[in-house]
Amino acid sequence: MVIPSPFVYWAQSSNSVSLKIDLRNAETPNIEVLENKIKFSAQGVGAHGICKYEFSLDLFAPIRSSKEGDQCINVKVYENRIDVVLDKDESVWWPRLTAQPQKPAWLKINFDQWKSEDDGGSEEETRDVMKDYPGMFDKLHKEELGYRKGILIFLSHRFDSTAKFIPPRPLLFL
């Protein structure tokens, strides 16, 4: 029997990686962090209902190993999710989370916490991803959802010369 993986949303800063594991009512999550790998397992409610969920990720670069009194992993268990923050070994931006170029289907980008290299660390300035990277947002959206959002407009109903009803035609604006 295949054990399902929960949806995992990730984001990064120059010195840490954050993972949001979409698992409700998680019971005693088991998280094991090695130098280049993270393993997770827990019983909870996810996309497949109540069952055991687990995943293993080979990370792009090493994570800082814990020393005496030094915390390299921060785990917070909430009712509807589990947040994990990992400290990077070196303060550099990763081009991706995983060592392999192909990401698993259950791994998503956490746009709520996403920061880029050129943000410059200013938290006060709110930026609009749509304006800053118009093509990139559409490309990522299509990758994640499999389609691009558009505006669907229905024209009002019409009648032909014999007073026969003609249903409205949808128009799609991209």
Average pLDDT over residues 117-132: 63
Residues 73 and 136: beta-carbon distance below 8 Å? no
Quote the pTM value. Answer: 0.65
| pLDDT tier, 14 (very low <50, low <70, confident <90, very high otherwise) | confident
Q: Residue 155: pLDDT band by 50, 70, 90 thresholds?
A: low
Radius of gyration of the chain (CA): 22
Q: Is the pLDDT of residue 169 over 80?
A: no
Q: Is 82 helix (H, G, I), strand (E, B) or coil?
A: strand
Taking the CA atoms of 133, 58, 47 and 77 in sequence, report the sign of the dihedral they define: negative
Least confident of 35-39, 124-128, 133-137, 141-145: 124-128
Name the more confident of 163 and 128.
128
The pLDDT-based confidence of 142 (bands split at 50, 70, 90) is: confident
Taking 80 as the threshold, does the pLDDT of residue 46 lie above it?
yes
pLDDT at 21: 93
Report angle CA 89, 93, 96 to the nearest 5 degrees: 100
Q: What's the whole-number average pLDDT of the chain? A: 79
Angle value at C-alpha 135, between 109 and 99, nearest 5 degrees: 35
How far apart CA 39 and CA 70 sit, in angstroms, is 20
Q: Which amino acid is at 139?
A: K
Give yes or no for residue 101 having a pLDDT over 80.
yes
